[in-house]
């Protein structure tokens, strides 16, 4: 199996911790992994875990001295970009085409030249809200692959659809397309 460059984008969901396990699984399979996070994601998972696993700095800030035009460079570097987990707020930002943070700017600069996967993770009421449903429909129409959220016990205690797939399953799905 040849090594690929995989960019994991992480937004502010309670399941952000799963991204560290996904990064670890992909690294063990020999791939190069970088992570981009929103500011909120860093309230759920610390950069030390991601940096320790990937051997790369966690990228959050667009205006980071020493990283020239980071959003363009990251899009060029990646063979596949996966937004895991995708929060409702970040999904809305992507759908609006806003480029106010690094994660959103990477989405725009990639412009579906490389596969862009979105794995929503949220409460069932949020997931079924027309705003989120419509945003995901648009993103899918544009070319993103939406990873169907799974049913189960959600972090809020309710049972329903809204869980991001477990990291080992995501890793298998990624391997299948590489």
Ligand X SMILES: Cc1cc2nc3c(=O)[nH]c(=O)nc-3n(C[C@H](O)[C@H](O)[C@H](O)COP(=O)(O)O)c2cc1C
Does 13 interact with ligand X (rule: CB under 6 A)? yes
Does 40 interact with ligand X (rule: CB under 6 A)? yes
Q: How far is the CB of 85 from ligand X (least distance, A)?
A: 6
Does 104 interact with ligand X (rule: CB under 6 A)? no
Strand order from edge to edge, sheet including 32-37: 32-37, 5-10, 80-86, 116-120, 145-146
Catalytic annotation present for 156: yes
Give the side-chain half-sphere CA count within 13 A for 46.
Answer: 3
Q: How many residues bind ligand X (CB under 6 A)?
A: 15
Does 60 interact with ligand X (rule: CB under 6 A)? no
Which residue's CB is nearer to ligand X, number 25 or number 118?
A: 118
Does 89 interact with ligand X (rule: CB under 6 A)? yes
The answer to whether residues 10 and 36 touch, using CB atoms and an 8 Å cutoff, is yes
Residue 112: count other Cβ atoms within 10 Å of its Cβ.
12
Q: Which of 69, 131, 133, 156 is catalytic?
A: 156
Give the side-chain half-sphere CA count within 13 A for 29.
Answer: 23
C-alpha 178/C-alpha 80 separation (Å) is: 8
Name the token pair of 35.
């992570």
Q: How far is the CB of 23 from ligand X (least distance, A)?
A: 17
Stretch that binds ligand X, among 1-9, 76-84, 88-96, 134-142 (CB under 6 A): 88-96
Does 38 interact with ligand X (rule: CB under 6 A)? yes
Does 122 interact with ligand X (rule: CB under 6 A)? yes
Report, in this order, helix, strand and coil percent for the chain, each rounded to 5: 45, 20, 35
Which residues are annotated as catalytic? 156
Residues engaged in binding ligand X (CB under 6 A):
11-15, 38, 40-41, 87-90, 121-122, 126
């Amino acid at each position: 199996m040849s090594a690929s460059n995989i960019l994991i984008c992480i937004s502010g969901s309670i399941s952000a911790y799963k991204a560290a396990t996904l990064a670890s699984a992909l690294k063990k399979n020999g791939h190069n992994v970088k992570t981009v996070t929103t500011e909120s994601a860093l309230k759920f998972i610390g950069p030390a875990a991601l940096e320790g696993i990937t051997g790369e700095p966690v990228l959050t800030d667009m205006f980071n001295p020493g990283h020239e035009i980071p959003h363009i460079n990251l899009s060029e570097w990646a063979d596949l970009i996966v937004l895991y987990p995708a929060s409702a707020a970040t999904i809305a930002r992507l759908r609006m085409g806003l480029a106010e943070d690094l994660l959103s700017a990477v989405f725009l600069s990639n412009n579906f030249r490389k596969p862009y996967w979105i794995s929503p993770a949220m409460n069932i009421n949020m997931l079924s809200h027309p705003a989120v449903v419509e945003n995901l429909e648009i993103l899918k129409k544009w070319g993103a692959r939406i990873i169907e959220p799974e049913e189960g016990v959600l972090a809020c205690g309710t049972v329903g659809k809204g869980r991001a797939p477990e990291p080992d399953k995501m890793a298998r799905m990624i391997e299948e397309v590489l």
